[in-house]
Structure 1
Amino acid sequence: MSITGALSNAMQGLQAAGRGSEVIAANISNALTPGYGMRILELSSNASSTNGGVMISGVGRQMNDSLAQDKRLAEAANANASALHGIYTTIENIIGSPDEPTSITAQMAALETDLITAASRPDAPERLSAAVGSARNLANSFVKASKTLQEARTNADRTIGIQVDRLNSALSQVHSLNKMITKSQVQGNQNHALVDQRQMLIDEISVLVPVRTVPRDNGQVALYSSGGVILLDSTAAEVSFDKTNTVTPYHDVDAGTLSGITVNGYPIGTASDNGGLSGGSIAAQFKIRDDIAVEAQGQLDALARDLIERFQDPAVDLTLGATSPGLFTDNGGAFDPADEIGIARRLSLNAAVDPKQGGEAWRLRDGLLAASTGDVGDGAQLNRLVDALTLSRPSASGIFSGGMYSAIDLTSTITSHYAVKRDSAENTLSFNAAQVSELTERLLGDGVDSDQELQKLMLVEQAFAANARMLQTVDELMQTVLGL
């Protein structure tokens, strides 16, 4: 080999070593960067030179696309499960168990206890006042629970609006990156950073709506939802949703009082299990707004109706007429079975027995419409109130319609129903979280291995030193020749 050939090969080797160290440094610094694909320096022999040598062919990007796809779908399922677990936990807490003082179950048990206590000493004003206080607290707990459910629906509606805006923005950015990647590829430039950025956006989109990527010409990709909706292919789809400021028990998507979702102007099913955009965070918010919270409100209304009807019966309070409101009222009036929706939020204590509304606690003992006090030692009326609360009667509405329940049994049954729902949601969330964790570890394992990159760096250092030694040797030879 000539001195010129040796010098050329050494210079090529130094260039390859320098580029290799840059690639290794980029890999190590981005080892935990989301969407980053490991860079690989591609080298080949310099066939164009009679002296051989090394040539830098380019820098490749390595990513396990199949594993990345599985991870995206798992993250979407996890986001969906997390939102559903949250709403079931909220519902379980507001209905609650007897050991939670602010729960409806505990307030119902407190009313029963205080009525029994008052019936044992009907002449004791403080016992009557305590029973009235328990009844007021129970009514207030229904109102608070109903407000909490409607706030959950309102928040879900607001979250859908925010997430749809983010979805549109991300789709537009992926579309722009598609064009930039194509332009870069046509010009023969490296576009790995653009692909990384696109990967991050696709991962973000998939949490909102699970998507699958389909390769297109010139480095572009198309995005399809798992439900078959085209979100990006040549152009980005326009997803539309109209937010509602406040959601009430009367708002319903089927009645047109709540917005559904459209893609390029076409309505898309919002069912969490089989809708066009099912499986992700957006679908979970629709399920909360249109299914879970609506059902829970229905059970709460059924429970409130049962409570009102128990004490509205003239056989329980002999002073009442056929249309008179009982101990618990529908916003001060008698309950109308045709107007059950939202009754839990309108539930109130009859003003006749509530000192805070100008009433008198003794009417709990003598009758709601009694004009004056009767025999202070007569506990018959209070005993009838206790019997009304503990009587097993058929539930007129709700998921347990037709069954025979006392008030406390009906409350406990509904509590158990949502405890099972919450437990199931928790198990699903745990499974999905474990799946995301496992896939993340596997993806990281297939990605940048810092130890392996450091080993590569040591080899690069050795190659650099060898080529530097070659240059030094060539220099010594040149000095020798010049000295002859």
Structure 2
Amino acid sequence: MSLSAAMKTAQSSFSNVGLQSAVASKNIANASNPAYARRAAILATATSGATVVETQRAQNEALLKQNLLSISKASGQDTLLAGLTQMKMMLGGEDYELAPSTYLAKLRDNLQTFADKPNEVSLAETVVSDAIDVANSLNSTSLSLQKMRAEADADINTGVVELNRLLKEFRAYNDKVKQSTAAGAVDNDALDQRDKLLTEISSIVGVTTVTRTNNDLALYTSDGTVLFETVERSVTFAPTTTYTATVDGNQVLIDGVPVQAGAGGNTSARGSLAALLQLRDHTAPTFQAQLDEISRGLINMFSEDVAGTSLDGLFMRNGVAVGDDLGVDAVVPGLATVIKVNPAVITSQGGNAMLLRDGINATFNIDDNASFSELLNSYATAFETPVTFDPAAAIDTDGTILAFSTGSVGWLEEIRSAASTAGDDKNALLARTQEALQNVTAVSLDEELALLLDLEQSYKASAKLVAAVDEMITALLQAAG
């Protein structure tokens, strides 16, 4: 090897070590950055020895796509479970002590006790107090449900705003990737940012990717709607600030196509938007329908038949639209919000609790008999008499009111339990997918530090080669001199 060739080899080695050290240093600096993919300086043989020809970015398209799918599934499931847990807390948590069924059971028991001792005023007051608890439970749960729907609507609006922002940012980095690829280069930093944006987008809406010319990405939702294709598509939503049982929320539109709500406890939702739509438009309204049916049943059970006309008895409604027929086996939307106890039997409002025994709208206890219990026994019997409920409530359509109210709790617990189990499964899958992807793309400090040690040795060897060449040149000059 000539002295000039040796110098060129040493210079090439110094250049390679410098470039490789820069890449390793950048890897170490970003070791804690989950959006950073490891870089590697690739060497190739040249006339003057090895040379760095490119910096490759670690990636695995199959794992990335699986990770995006897992993120969207886990996000949708977690969003649904959070809403169902909130609904459970409305009923008092694990023991459901604030559920209408709990208060109904207490009302039934004390009503039977009053029927056995119809001359006890204190028992009458207890029954009225229990009835007030039932009405308050229905009122508060119904109002909490509508508040939850309004919160879900606000979260949907926040998600839509964020999704539009992410898509605009995605376009900027996607354009950088296309431009660099077309120029024969690779913008690894832009690729990192683009993949990071993809994970954030997938937590809001399920997304699939299609790679096109110059590494251009097109994005589609899980149901095939175009989300991004050269330019971002418009995602629109008109929020509704106030919700009642009769108010329906607006749709989320992606490029004019409605986003489909999730379904089931093990929800089909991909991303938080679909799960929020499921809570707002399906889960909460179904539970509201159950509360409304309980209210309709109570008003009918305790109504009084006066001259062939059914009049409100212990329970009555206030504010329901004229024309709603409680005698028809159909949900009266919002009835649970306005059901109340008849003021005629509330002592603090100038009423008389004993009218529950004697009759509110007419005197059934004509002889003012202290042992009169005909009305009270009919109410107790009504608790054991099956009635027909609207199928829209999604539980048994034929049964006692107590069984129906208990079934409502069971319905919520069943769907929440399914959501919890599915959430564990989907989050476990996400953790494994992320781990597999990180194993391919993440920076290992041990590996990078080991590489730096190797580069140090390479640098020392090159330095020795330069020193040897220097000595030989010096010796030649001295010999010639």
Normalising by structure 2, what TM-score?
Answer: 0.89
Structure 2 partner of 1:328:
315
Residue among 442, 450, 472 paired with 2:467: 472
Structure 1 partner of 2:414:
420
Q: CA deviation at 1:215?
A: 1.6
Alpha-carbon RMSD: 2.8
Q: CA deviation at 1:122?
A: 3.4
Q: What are the equivalent positions in structure 2 for 1:386-465 lying under 5 Å apart?
A: 386-395=380-389, 398-400=393-395, 402-403=397-398, 405-447=399-441, 448-465=443-460
Supply the distance in 2 between the matched residues of 1:400 and 1:59 (Cα, whole angstroms).
61
Q: Deviations over 1:236-282 (max 9, x none)?
A: 11111111111221123xxxxx3223333x233524369xx962211
Deviating more after overlay: 340-349 vs 23-32: 23-32
Q: Deviations over 1:401-459 (max 9, x none)?
A: 641x2222111122222222222222221211111011011111112333333332222
2:76 match: secondary structure: helix
- AA aligned to 1:330 is R
Supply the distance in 2 between the matched residues of 1:78 and 1:62 (Cα, whole angstroms).
25
Residue among 146, 150, 173 paired with 2:142: 146
Supply the distance in 2 between the matched residues of 1:375 and 1:83 (Cα, whole angstroms).
59
Q: Deviations over 1:359-396 (max 9, x none)?
A: 22222233223689944454444333322233333335
What residue ranges of structure 2 are gaps of 5+ in the alignment? none
Q: CA deviation at 1:351?
A: 0.9
Supply the distance in 2 between the matched residues of 1:361 and 1:209 (Cα, whole angstroms).
56
Structure 2 partner of 1:206:
202
Supply the distance in 2 between the matched residues of 1:363 and 1:76 (Cα, whole angstroms).
58
1:444 match: secondary structure: helix
1:148 match: secondary structure: helix
Change (3 A) 1:396 1:172: closer
Pairing 1:290–2:285 present? no
Supply the distance in 1 between the matched residues of 2:21 and 2:297 (Cα, whole angstroms).
75
Structure 1 partner of 2:19:
19
Q: Is the 8 A contact 2:396 2:404 kept in 1?
A: no
Pairing 1:216–2:212 present? yes
Change (3 A) 1:320 1:365: farther
Q: Is the 8 A contact 2:107 2:131 kept in 1?
A: yes
Structure 1 partner of 2:260:
270
Change (3 A) 1:287 1:332: closer
Deviating more after overlay: 217-226 vs 72-81: 217-226
Supply the distance in 1 between the matched residues of 2:396 and 2:183 (Cα, whole angstroms).
70
Change (3 A) 1:56 1:400: closer
Structure 2 partner of 1:255:
none
- AA aligned to 2:470 is D
Supply the distance in 2 between the matched residues of 1:98 and 1:455 (Cα, whole angstroms).
54
Q: Is the 8 A contact 1:98 1:109 kept in 2?
A: no
Supply the distance in 2 between the matched residues of 1:431 and 1:312 (Cα, whole angstroms).
49
Change (3 A) 1:68 1:153: same
2:4 match: secondary structure: helix
Pairing 1:353–2:327 present? no
- AA aligned to 2:407 is T
Q: What are the equivalent positions in structure 2 for 1:79-98 lying under 5 Å apart?
A: 79-94=75-90
Q: Deviations over 1:124-171 (max 9, x none)?
A: 333322221111111011011111221222122211111111111111
Supply the distance in 2 between the matched residues of 1:186 and 1:464 (Cα, whole angstroms).
35
**What fraction of aligned residue pairs are identical, expressed as a percent?**
28
Q: Is the 8 A contact 2:157 2:237 kept in 1?
A: yes
2:311 match: secondary structure: coil
Pairing 1:69–2:56 present? no
Pairing 1:180–2:176 present? yes
Q: Is the 8 A contact 2:80 2:419 kept in 1?
A: yes
2:309 match: secondary structure: coil
Q: Deviations over 1:163-196 (max 9, x none)?
A: 1111111111111112222333455555111110
Normalising by structure 1, what TM-score?
Answer: 0.88
Structure 2 partner of 1:310:
301
Q: Is the 8 A contact 1:332 1:350 kept in 2?
A: no
Change (3 A) 1:171 1:226: same
2:383 match: secondary structure: helix
What residue ranges of structure 1 are gaps of 5+ in the alignment? 253-257
Supply the distance in 2 between the matched residues of 1:188 and 1:54 (Cα, whole angstroms).
21
Structure 2 partner of 1:165:
161
Q: Is the 8 A contact 1:208 1:282 kept in 2?
A: yes
Change (3 A) 1:353 1:321: farther
The count of corresponding residues between Structure 1 and Structure 2 is 467
Supply the distance in 2 between the matched residues of 1:114 and 1:207 (Cα, whole angstroms).
51
Supply the distance in 2 between the matched residues of 1:225 and 1:98 (Cα, whole angstroms).
37
Q: Is the 8 A contact 1:97 1:106 kept in 2?
A: no
Q: Is the 8 A contact 1:320 1:326 kept in 2?
A: no
1:42 match: secondary structure: strand
Supply the distance in 1 between the matched residues of 2:175 and 2:93 (Cα, whole angstroms).
57
Supply the distance in 1 between the matched residues of 2:26 and 2:370 (Cα, whole angstroms).
88
Q: CA deviation at 1:201?
A: 0.6
Q: Is the 8 A contact 1:261 1:269 kept in 2?
A: yes
